[in-house]
Amino acid sequence: MERLAVAKVNLGLSLLGRRRDGYHELHTLFASLSFGDRLFLEPIPEGIEFRGRYGRRNLAYRAAAAYLEAAGWPGGVRIVLEKALPEGAGLGGGSSDAAQVLLGLRELYPAEVELFPLALSLGADVPFFLQGGVAEARGVGERLRPLSLSSLPVVVFSSGLRLPTPKVYAEVKPHDFGPELPVEEILKALEKGEEPPYWNSLEGPAFRLHPELKEVKARLKALGLRGVLMSGSGSAFFGLAEDEAQAKKVVEALKHAGYARHGTLGGGYGAI
């Protein structure tokens, strides 16, 4: 069985404040992309055989162990993970890998197992990847509301800088907090091809840690992309293109500077 674990970007991310449990309350719009990692799952008599980085610490391995244990170990699985997405870039690759393992194992070994709680136990972004598409998210990202958005051409770029999420959140200051995102205005602007009124509260902390990221954002804007924004906690940025031709041209200009890929955002896949 082959599965595509697509990337995501955040069409705006606002930190509303710090919660009593130490996490930050956020408001964001997740949008899945048309490209990502590839996973190959094959049933075996017992156990988990995993080929990929980090071994048992990999979220994909942990997802397999969580599902098979919840299902009563009806069999085992061999997993081959072919990484295409950069790590520590804010594109959700690890979370998407985990979600696709859960969905794949549900097909291989159907059982009365609720995937959402398993996904949330693996990470706050994992539940979104069970359905993909576009969704408004609150809390730490686990309270989801599906939204409708036409597929749009997008360019994603990462200079290769790995920016660990805990490090970025540790840099958050009170002045980085903001109001809720204007969801309807963002969606309308995106549909009309206008500059969306969104922001990412984590850009400030990321830029303080690595000022060179400002130059990355400026370069993407100079290449004619609109709505250029850092995704998640970084360090990848995305921007919207007028059409596929412009997206290809921008990727050609960026391909020697780091990871550059074009595709579409907003497409859904699967269901919880």
pLDDT digits (tens, 9 = 90+) for 77-127: 999 999 999 988 999 999 999 999 999 999 999 999 999 999 999 999 999
Is the predicted pLDDT of residue 57 greater than 90, yes or no?
yes
Token output for 232? 């998640």
**Closest-CA residue to 238 (of 139, 155, 170, 131):** 155
Q: Of the residues 37, 97, 125, 217, which is catalytic?
A: 125
- What single letter denotes the amino acid at residue 45? P
Q: Does the annotation mark 176 as catalytic?
A: no
| φ and ψ at residue 147, rounded to 5 degrees | -130, 165
Provide the β-strand partners of residue 31.
Answer: 9, 134
| Token code pair at residue 29 | 């719009």
Active-site choice (8, 37, 97, 217): 8
Which pLDDT does position 18 carry in this prediction?
A: 87
Averaged pLDDT of the chain? 94
Encoded tokens for 44? 């075996």
**pLDDT tens string 130-145:** 999 999 999 988 899 9
Known catalytic residue at 125: yes
Which of 61-70, 225-234, 241-250, 260-269 is predicted least confidently? Answer: 260-269
* CA end-to-end span of the chain: 19
Q: What is the mean pLDDT of residues 35-64?
A: 96
Contact 174, 205 (CB under 8 A): no
Pairing of strands 2-18, 134-138: unpaired
pTM reported for the whole predicted model: 0.93
CA distance 148 to 120: 23
User: Tens digits of per-residue pLDDT, 202-216?
Assistant: 999 999 999 999 999
- pLDDT band of 267, cuts 50, 70, 90: low
